[in-house]
Structure 1
Amino acid sequence: YYGLVSYWTGFLKANYTSEFMASKMTSLLGNKDKLLIVIDDTRKHGIEVLAPDVNESNHDFTVIGKGDKPPIRFGLQAIKGIGEGPVNAIIEARNEGGKFISLHDFCERVPIRGCNKSCIETLIKSGAFDTIQTNRRALLDGLEHAISAAQAEQADALSGQVNMFAEEPSEAGRPKATGNLPNVDDAPSAQKLAWEKEYVGLYISDHPLNPLSDYLEANAVPLGKISESGGFGDGARLTIGGMATKVQKRVDKNGRSWAIFQIEDLTGSMEVLAFAKTFEKCGDCITEDAKLLVTGRLSADTRGGPPRGGEEEGEEGVRFKIMADSIEIISNKDAEKATAQAADRPPV
């Protein structure tokens, strides 16, 4: 039986790669670390993973279009705070009237009781309106007016009133007016990425570590490989690299400072412990969002209990963390040097 399942799995991944990966991503919505690994694997197969989109996304991850390697679109329910109700309302309006062409069109056609202001703000911040308007700040600042205009239009329609200056009704799915948005500067790229991380759980449109990808490939073990337990065991000494998050600085019983934080790369994340001896040498490096290279020993924790979402039944609940011996900041100069060396290497 297991041999047959393995054959089917291999066949589907080889011949229907996009569909296979989309299904796997949907199954891992509750396990961000494993989802990151699958997204990274998907991109290595040459398949683009697209941000959520009110005009294309469904509930789950969906293959868009046809071809050899069609892209995969994020599902709307993968966004934090967006449940089944708002997604149903969006899809119903889209099926009835076609794609949305503006924020005002969206607010006019999707009932506010089905998708309230808070949900729309979340959709904007996560990038789900980017194919309509890339300026997320303008969308957020103009949302209140768009909702008010839509409610007034709906009230007029219910009462049978007709505005003598209204535009002629157009084809299905087209609004009577596209509406105007405030003329404001867009949110900075760093803010957009922070919103994506908050609401989608990972970076979609870009990643702060992309400029360091060549450096990390040359100098660090990808965290995804460690999470997969690919030949790494308790006590293994290695170097990892990435961005520090969730930094907590503490004091031990002897009054010495130490730190615990997460290190994230393009494939996953891992907990790092920098005890007093290491912290004394490297503590100044450990700040939120710092790009770090960490060398130390793996510590395996098998007390993880039952498998998390997306893990197979019977999988060992091993969680790795690293006990840091040394920590250093990855400089822009080192990153640029690694990028130049990668560009000079002949293709394989």
Structure 2
Amino acid sequence: MFTEAFIKKVKNIAIFVIVYTLLFILFFSTLSYTLPFVLAFIIALWIKPITIFLNKRLKISLNISSLLSTIIIFTIILFIIVLIIFKISIEIRDILNNLPDINNIINISQVYINKYEQYFSQISPEYVNRFKDEIISLLSNAYSITVTILKTSVSFAIKLPKVFLIIFITLIGTYLFSIDLALMQSRFLSIFSDKTKDKVVMIWNEGNKMFSGYIKAYTFIVFLTFIETLIGFSILKIRYALSLSIISAICDLLPIIGIGIIYFSVALFYFFSKKYAICFSILLLYIIVTVLRQILEPKIVSSSLGLKPIAVLAAIFIGIMSHGFIGMLYLLFLLVFYKILNKSNVL
């Protein structure tokens, strides 16, 4: 029925999907233990050009140039992180101290519900009561989620010693990886024949190019969300604009939560404060940011990875609908690895 070449290609693709799935599960199931070393390896690859530049220009040993490049990068990263955490911790503590009690919110909601209840007088009381219960439940859940996110952020700041331990291990690992990177690469390639070695180098170069593009694409998307939120909230003169913008950018990476949890919480706060113009403006800003993200994400990611926009859009949608953020990552990386192996004539 089918040609031998087609059957062989299908078998190769099936083997690839099975192997990829097993490695994906293994990677994410062990990431909590291997995170510092994964980060160290990625950063070592990232600072490799700096290490080589210092080694050749300053004519110093590889050990010293690796140490200098590692210290420079980590000093910059730590300075930015400490500055952001310090600013956010102060603002979040202030937010928590000034949050209205949940009972007050429910009481205010009840007043509004009673005020407009006359419009529902012709509807069955059962549906009206159910509608009231749903609104109160929704408000309670939104309030609880907001407080949980804020308290988690504070808890994260409190548990910084553990974070700094991970950073310290990542720092040492980056230094050691940057020293042995060239040696590791040559040893790894030495196990292959000359013909296979060229193909492995091609796969590595293509993979490095595509993963760099992927990271740059999502860094740009998250940064764009942060800037849009910061500018919008600053124009509307909303307090804690910086903290809310950073949290929105982080939530933007989590499709199940999304930026809506921040925008709707802030909008509800201004609604109950009877500042309806600001409430409406926040909802309008949310629509603009969301629409821009939905338009730009497939285009930016597809152009960065060299994939067709429809394939990226399908991977994002199917992944999110099936298993959320992890599902999206699984399908996107599946496309990326397939593209790499296809361009290298492996598949």
TM surpasses 0.5: no
Q: TM-score, normalised by structure 1?
A: 0.26
Q: Whose Rg is larger? A: 2
Q: Which has the higher contact order (CA 8 A, sep 6+)?
A: 2
Greater percentage in helix: 2
